[in-house]
Amino acid sequence: MKDFGFSVIKQRTIDYDQFDGRLLNEVLEIEPSFKVCLSCGGCTATCSAADLVSFNVRRMNLLLRRGETVELESEIQKCMLCGKCMLVCPRGINLRNVIMLIKKSILKYKPVNS
Ligand code: SF4
Ligand code: SF4
């Protein structure tokens, strides 16, 4: 990894040379609308699940794009698949399908000993 001149907490290190992008690639291939997400946060602000539990669609998006499947698996269970986020998305992204695809495929890409 490139030396930026400061240290990082080992457990939170995301090495983009090593990260596992297979789940992200699968999701983007089946649901290409997700490629145009502009991270506006509209989905996060209107999420029904976030009113009830600690859940953040933006964080889910970040975990997926970083290949952090262990954290993503527990986070994704909190979505109720109500589809409210899709009603406000300015890019018309089918977020419910994105979440369904993650739920369906995440076990394939999760590290075996986690
Ligand atoms: S509302 Fe749509 S464009 Fe905005 S962050 Fe959510 S998915 Fe991305
Ligand atoms: S489908 Fe999931 S992410 Fe979207 S508003 Fe409903 S609970 Fe939140």
Domain coordinates of the chain in residue numbers? 21-108
Mean pLDDT value of segment 26-35: 96
pLDDT of residue 12: 66
Q: What is the pLDDT of residue 72?
A: 93
pLDDT (mean) for 97-112 = 91
pLDDT at position 16: 73
Three-class secondary structure of residue 13 per DSSP: coil
Contact residues for 30 (Cβ-Cβ < 8 A; gap 6+) = 97, 101
| Residue 11 predicted with pLDDT over 70 | no
Residues ≥6 apart with Cβ < 8 Å to 33: 91, 92, 93, 94
When pLDDT is averaged across residues 18-41 and rounded to a whole number, the result is: 92
The per-residue pLDDT for 1 is: 64
Instruction: Ligand 2: list residues with CB < 6 Å.
Output: 47-49, 57, 79-85, 95-96, 99
**Residue nearest to ligand 2 atom 5, measured at CA:** 47
- Chain-wide mean pLDDT for the chain? 89
Atom 2, ligand 1: residue with shortest CA distance: 89
Residue 110 · residue 70 · CB < 8 Å: yes
Q: What does the alpha-carbon distance between residue 45 and residue 28 come to, in Å, rounded to a whole number?
A: 23
User: What does the alpha-carbon distance between residue 13 and residue 39 come to, in Å, rounded to a whole number?
Assistant: 22
The token pair at 6 is 């400061």
Residue 65 to residue 59: CA distance in whole angstroms: 10
- The percentage of residues in the chain with a pLDDT greater than 90, rounded to a whole number, is 61
Among all bound ligands, the one having the nearest atom to the CA of 49 is: 2
Taking alpha carbons only, the member of 103, 97, 98 closest to residue 78 is 103
User: Of all protein residues, whose CA lies closest to atom 5 belonging to ligand 1?
Assistant: 39
Distance 70 CA to ligand 1 centre (A): 23
Q: Which ligand is nearest to the CA of 42?
A: 1
Does residue 52 carry a pLDDT above 70? Answer: yes
- Residue nearest atom 6 in ligand 2 by C-alpha distance: 82
